[in-house]
Amino acid sequence: MKVHFNWGVKGFSGYKDRAVFYYTERLGQGYMRSFTYPSRNPSAERTKLVMANLKLIQPSQDYRLNFFDYMLAYNDLRDLCKRPMLCWNNLYIRMLYAMQKSTPGIDLATLTREDIYEQNLPCISVKSAIEAGLLPEVKNYQRFNKLI
């Protein structure tokens, strides 16, 4: 649920009446959601393993900057302007899960940087991920060619 503030509130966040309010300055929007305690998810252990392994890949700084620039162009896409991304690693993880879904035999819990280079996987650069259909195409995507 979107919240509209009548005044120029820049940093309002917190809890009130079992609701959580937060404001995103980059988008200029405030949000409200009901507060709930997280439930025990049976697939949480698998997700924990995958995320710990993806942290070990450690993409290069140039690759991260390419993803950040891609994120800015991605947020400008007309079809996706209702759901913008706030950080580059959300797109990175979305791309890796799309690669796992499209390419049989890839397990994100065991994927390493060496596997990416040996198998020439599409996540090796943002440009190759776009050309493989893992990410939506943006204007001038050919410049995102730095390797992981």
Residue 127 lies in a domain: yes
Q: Residue 78: its pLDDT value, please? A: 78
Residue 75 lies in a domain: yes
Question: Are 106 and 126 in the same domain?
Answer: yes
Question: Are 64 and 92 in the same domain?
Answer: yes
| Residue 9 structure tokens | 């509130």
Residue 71 lies in a domain: yes
Residue 9 lies in a domain: yes
Half-sphere exposure of 47 (CA within 13 A, CB side): 6
Task: Name the band, by pLDDT with cuts 50, 70 and 90, for residue 75.
Answer: confident
Question: Are 62 and 115 in the same domain?
Answer: yes
Question: Are 128 and 79 in the same domain?
Answer: yes
Domain span holding position 11: 2-34
**Bridge-partner residues for 16, per DSSP?**
19
How confident is the model over 27-51, as a mean pLDDT?
77
Counted domains in the chain: 2
What whole-number distance in Å separates Cα of residue 19 and Cα of residue 57?
37
Question: Whole-prediction pTM value?
Answer: 0.74
Q: Residue 44: its pLDDT value, please? A: 80
Q: What is the mean pLDDT of the chain?
A: 81
Is the pLDDT at 141 greater than 60, yes or no?
Answer: yes
The answer to whether residues 112 and 89 touch, using CB atoms and an 8 Å cutoff, is: no
Check residues 119 and 19 and name the one with the higher pLDDT.
119
**Bridge-partner residues for 21, per DSSP?**
14, 32
